[in-house]
Structure 1
């Protein structure tokens, strides 16, 4: 079994439900076992900013699937939960990104591991640091905590631990 980290994000209601359904579908796969889950964080959109805030989190899992087989499972879950790819970095019911796959460095037309932009994304690094602070990122030779320290104050400020209140879905 290999340790894998996947980032999940949603900014179309019901955001929390999409995250929970994606986790349930991952965990229901016979070759996948979720071992850790971060808290849920609310984050400002990056790239295309004319959209609602996201809920983001990271899960750790073990799997016997190859990286491309796991990518196929993730994309199948996205389709099942209504993901449409209309605007790059645009609104989505669910997004599943493979961040790290064991200690592999891989670059294909379909998949790059480690995720090529994870080092600059607070909405990925902060939840990842919660569950794997001392993990070293292949190719950067830095721990996740060190990468979080390198983020700007503004980037970190835009990522807050999410709690349900009267205005949010439950």
Structure 2
């Protein structure tokens, strides 16, 4: 497994922690093509964008895979579908959301996938869990580490929920 990736997982409906844990289990079921190497603590975060909804739980994950970026996207979307994700309101409530943040150090833009994930450096709910597992990580062509980015954005609206 030669490709590295980072994911952001979030949930704000029902048993939030259980949905994230189930998503992690489903990711790990693909042992021949995907391995999770680091998983952050769980963080409770205030909603962004659409504010009339409950708080989210968010985590970040680092892993390795033999899947190509669009194959990894298909796999994560399959997990979202399995767990009952419905796409009705942009940035709205969801049982599970799995975003690919980075895949190696590539930049790509398709109708379905943009890498690195746009807006990830603006979102504390992404940066706080990510800095826990990869503080020295740099985005492609970025002069700042994730640890330095969190200093620019701050940690407002993000609270440690439980360690993983």
User: Which residue pairs with 2:83 in the alignment?
Assistant: 81
**Structure 1, residues 82-107: CA drift from partner, whole Å, max 9, x if none?**
00000000000000000000111111
Q: Is the 8 A contact 2:41 2:129 kept in 1?
A: yes
TM-score, normalisation: structure 1: 0.92
Establish whether residue 159 from structure 1 lines up as the match of residue 158 from structure 2.
Answer: yes
Q: CA deviation at 1:151?
A: 0.4
RMSD of aligned alpha carbons: 1.1
User: Which residue pairs with 1:111 in the alignment?
Assistant: 113
Q: CA deviation at 1:13?
A: 1.1
**Structure 1, residues 124-156: CA drift from partner, whole Å, max 9, x if none?**
01100000000111133210001101104xxx1
User: Which residue pairs with 2:22 in the alignment?
Assistant: 21
User: Which structure 1 residue ranges, 5 or more long, are not aligned?
Assistant: 165-170
For 1:12 and 1:64, how far apart are their aligned partners in 2? 32
Q: Is the 8 A contact 2:43 2:158 kept in 1?
A: yes
User: Which structure 2 residue ranges, 5 or more long, are not aligned?
Assistant: none
For 2:85 and 2:142, how far apart are their aligned partners in 1? 31
Structure 1 residue runs of 4+, over 6 Å off?
Answer: none
SS class of match (1:137) = coil
Q: After TM superposition, list the pairs within 5 Å mapping 1:1-170 onto structure 2.
A: 1-29=2-30, 30-152=32-154, 156-163=155-162
For 2:113 and 2:81, how far apart are their aligned partners in 1? 17
Matched residue pairs, number?
161
